[in-house]
């Protein structure tokens, strides 16, 4: 089991108020964010995603939109999960509650996401080509097909988090 004894042990990504998006590195240049001459920008499309997570086409792949509400988000590779910090005073307490939250969560319907390899998680308002100069985290996913499930959890009396877990699928 991974222990998170030190504060700021994981990298958290925050948005300016809109959704976060995980875009495959191979198609980053196709994500225009809030820029562009189109009537509806890529950012507008991301804002239209209903629920806790959704998929949007980007180039010849799909990006995972983390919707619901803006929240600081980290990826915990040992759980293959994005953890969204909705409420709580202490990072250590929040992260310590993740294993139990994953075991007891009431999961929503699953999405099916095919990724060509690693993705970058960042604020959906940023263009993909500029996201590396902003608040972002690289998620080293192996190419393949994943089931994506979401849940809210309350691992402590004052701690609420969102979970977006990835499960590899066999083709």
Residue ranges per domain, the chain?
A: 20-169
What's the predicted TM-score (pTM) here?
Answer: 0.90
HSE-CB of 109 using CA atoms within 13 angstroms: 5
pLDDT computed for residue 4 by the predictor: 44
Q: Most distant CA pair in the chain: distance in Å?
A: 48
Give the pair of three-digit tokens for residue 106: 């009431």
Rounded distance, CA 170 to CA 81, Å?
18
pLDDT computed for residue 8 by the predictor: 56
Q: What are the tens digits of pLDDT across the range 32-72?
A: 998 866 667 899 999 999 889 999 999 999 999 998 788 99
Ranges of residues in the chain with a pLDDT under 70 are 1-8, 36-39, 133, 171
Q: 109: which DSSP letter?
A: P
pLDDT computed for residue 171 by the predictor: 67
117 φ, ψ (degrees, to nearest 5): 155, -155
pLDDT computed for residue 3 by the predictor: 40
């Amino acid at each position: 089991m991974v222990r998170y004894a030190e504060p700021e042990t994981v990298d958290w990504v925050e948005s300016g108020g809109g959704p976060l998006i995980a875009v495959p590195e191979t198609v980053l240049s196709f994500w225009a964010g809030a820029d562009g001459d189109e009537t509806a920008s890529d950012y507008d499309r991301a804002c239209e995603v209903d629920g806790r997570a959704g998929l949007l086409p980007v180039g010849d792949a799909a990006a995972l939109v983390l919707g619901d509400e803006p929240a600081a988000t980290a990826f915990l590779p040992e759980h293959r999960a994005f953890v969204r910090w909705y409420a709580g005073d202490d990072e250590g307490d929040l992260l310590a509650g993740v294993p139990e939250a994953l075991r007891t969560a009431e999961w929503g319907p699953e999405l099916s996401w095919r990724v060509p390899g690693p993705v970058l998680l960042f604020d959906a308002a940023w263009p993909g080509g500029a996201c590396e100069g902003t608040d972002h985290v690289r998620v080293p996913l192996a190419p393949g097909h994943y089931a994506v499930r979401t849940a809210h959890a309350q691992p402590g009396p004052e701690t609420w988090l969102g979970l977006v877990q990835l499960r590899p699928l066999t083709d």
